Amino acid sequence: MTPATATSSSPAAPVQRHGIGGRRAFAVWGTALGVYVLGIFHRTSLGVAGLVAADRFHISAAQLATFTVVQLLVYAALQVPVGVLLDRFGSKRLLLAGVTLMSLGQLWFAVAGSFEVGLAARVLLGAGDAMVFVSVMRIVALWFRVRQAPLLTQLTGQLGQVGAIAASFPLAAALTHLGWTRSFTIAAGLGVVAGAALLLVVKDSPYEGTPQEPIRLRAVAATLRDAWGTPGTRLGLWSHFTAQFSPTVFTLLWGYPFLVRGEGLDAGTASALLVVITLSAMVTGPLLGQLVARHPYHRSQFVLVIVGAIAAVWTAVLTWPGRAPLPLLVLLVVVSAVGGPGSMVGLDLARSFNPQRRLGSALGIANIGGFVASLAVMALVGLVLDHLEPRGPAYYDLGDFRWAFAVQYLFWAGGGLQVWRHRRRTRRHLRSSDPEAFAALRRGEPVAPR
C-alpha cells in the first residue's frame, strides 16, 4: 500500500521510516500473527473441553452451547465497531487490548465455579478475539507491497489455524494431566508473552505521520448504509453465512462430543480428526484461492458446490446404518474443512464490489454472516439434544446427534437460496452500472470498484 498523500488539512506527507515487505515487515506481521494464533486457540478451546466443562459446571447441552454462542455473538457484534476503532487507534493498540481481554477472560474461565461466571469470561474472550484478525489484516495492507498482500492474507488465515491444532492434542493432554484450572491458567499466561512481543516489535505503520481517521457517527452510518446497499456485499454475507457454519460448529463445540458419544471413538482419535479438519483447511485454502483468482466470475458457484458437497457427506454419515466407518468420518472432516476457505470467498466478493473508502465496513458486514449462522446452529443443536436427552451429555447416543445435526439442512437450504438470489442481483447490477467491468469479470479479470 502506498503512503497517504498530504491534503490541505495535513501539514506534511507521511515519512517512510521502514522498508516495505522486508525483514522488519515480516517481524511485525509474524508477531501479530502469533496473537491471531493465540486467539484461534482461545476460540476453539471448548472443542475438546466441552464434556469436561459440562461436568465442572453441571450444565445442560444448551447451556454448554451458550458458552460458544455468546462468545461468537460478541465477536460478530463487534466487527463493525472494531473496524471504526482500528482506523482511529491503529493495529498495535487494538492487538494489545485484544490480547489483554483474551488473557483476562481465559484466566477468569480457569477459576470459574459457576455457569454464570464462566459465561462472563467467554464474553471477555469474544471481545478480545474480535479485535485481532482485522488488526492483522491492516498490518498486511500497510507493511507489504500490493503483490505480496494476497499471499500474506492467505497465510494469515491458514497459519492462524495452528491455534486450533494446539487446542486439540496439547489442551486435551493438559486437561487430563494438569486439570482444568492449571490448563486454562497456562493458556492465559501465554497472553503475557504475546503482549510483551507486541510492545517490543509491532509498529502500526512503516510511515510516521500517517493520519488517523476521527470517529464521526454520521459518516460511519452513511458508510454502512452504502456498503449494505451494494448487492456484492450481501452476496458476500450470504456466501460467508452458508459456507462457514458447519466446520465452525464441528470444531468449536459439537464435533468432539459427536465423535466420542455418538460415533464411539476414543478421545485420541476424535482429537486427531479435529486436527485433520484444520490441516485440510490449511491445504485447500491456497488451492481455492488460486481457483477463485483465475475464475472470479464463478466465485459464488464455487461456494454453492462446496456447500453441496458438505451437505452430501453429512447425509451419508447421518443416514449410515449404525455408526459410520472411520474412513467416512475422515471424508466428512476433510470435505467439511473446505467450508472455511469457502467462506473466505464471501469476503473476497465483498472486497471486490466495494471501493476502498468503505472496504472495512463491507468486510465487517460480510464477516458477520458466518458467525451468526454458527452461533444459531450451535444453539439449536444444544436445544435438540436437551429435548431428546434431558438427563445430560453423559447419556447422548448416536440417534440424538443425528436429529440434532439435521438442523444444518435448514441453514444450507436457506443460505444457498440467498446466494443464488444475490449472485443474480449482483451480476445484473454490475452489468447495468459498469458494462466494461462486467465484461472483464466474465473474461476472468478482477473487478476494480469505481
pLDDT single digits (tens) 115-143: 999 999 999 999 999 999 878 877 877 78
Identify the CATH number of the domain defined by range 18-202. 1.20.1250.20
d(CA 239, CA 415): 7
CA distance 198 to 191: 10
Confidence of residue 314 (pLDDT cuts 50, 70, 90): very high
DSSP 8-state symbol, 15: E
The answer to whether 41 and 167 have CB atoms below 8 angstroms apart is yes
- Domain residues of the chain, as ranges? 18-202, 219-445
Residue at 351: amino acid letter: R
Q: What pLDDT is recorded for position 8?
A: 42
Please tell me the predicted confidence (pLDDT) of residue 286: 79
Please state the rounded mean pLDDT for residues 89-99.
Answer: 90
User: Could you tell me the sign of the dihedral formed by the alpha carbons of 68, 71, 77, 80, in that order?
Assistant: negative
Quick check: 311 pLDDT over 90?
yes
Check whether 47 has a pLDDT greater than 60. Answer: yes
Q: Is the pLDDT of residue 145 over 80?
A: no
Say if residues 242 and 412 touch (Cβ distance below 8 Å): yes
* Fold equal for 18-202 and 219-445: yes
Provide φ and ψ at 15, rounded to 5°: -105, 125
pLDDT value of position 21: 75
Query: What is the pLDDT of the chain when averaged over all its residues?
Result: 84
43-47, 215-219, 324-328, 341-345: which has the highest mean pLDDT? 324-328
- Beta-carbon contacts of 422 under 8 Å, excluding residues fewer than 6 positions away, are 231, 234, 235, 238, 300
Q: What does the block give as the cell for 203? A: 509498529
Most confident of 68-77, 119-128, 306-315, 435-444: 306-315
| Candidates 1.20.1250.20, 3.90.740.10, 3.30.70.2190, 1.20.140.10; CATH matching 219-445 | 1.20.1250.20
Spatial separation of the C-alpha atoms in residues 213 and 84, rounded to whole Å: 9
**Average pLDDT value for residue range 57-73:** 81
* Phi and psi torsions of 22, nearest 5°: -100, -160
Report the pLDDT averaged over residues 297-305.
92
Q: How far is CA 60 from CA 63, 91, 155, 257, 387, in A?
A: 5, 39, 38, 13, 10
Chain segment 325-334, per-residue pLDDT in tens: 999 999 999 9
% of the chain beyond a pLDDT of 70? 90
Q: What is the pLDDT of residue 6?
A: 40
pTM for the structure as a whole: 0.76
Tell me the three state secondary structure of residue 423: helix
- The DSSP-derived string for 271-301 is HHHHHHHHHHHHHHHHHHHHHHHH-GGGHHH
Q: Pick from 249, 240, 229: which is nearest to 79 by CA?
A: 240
Higher-confidence position of 405 and 448 = 405
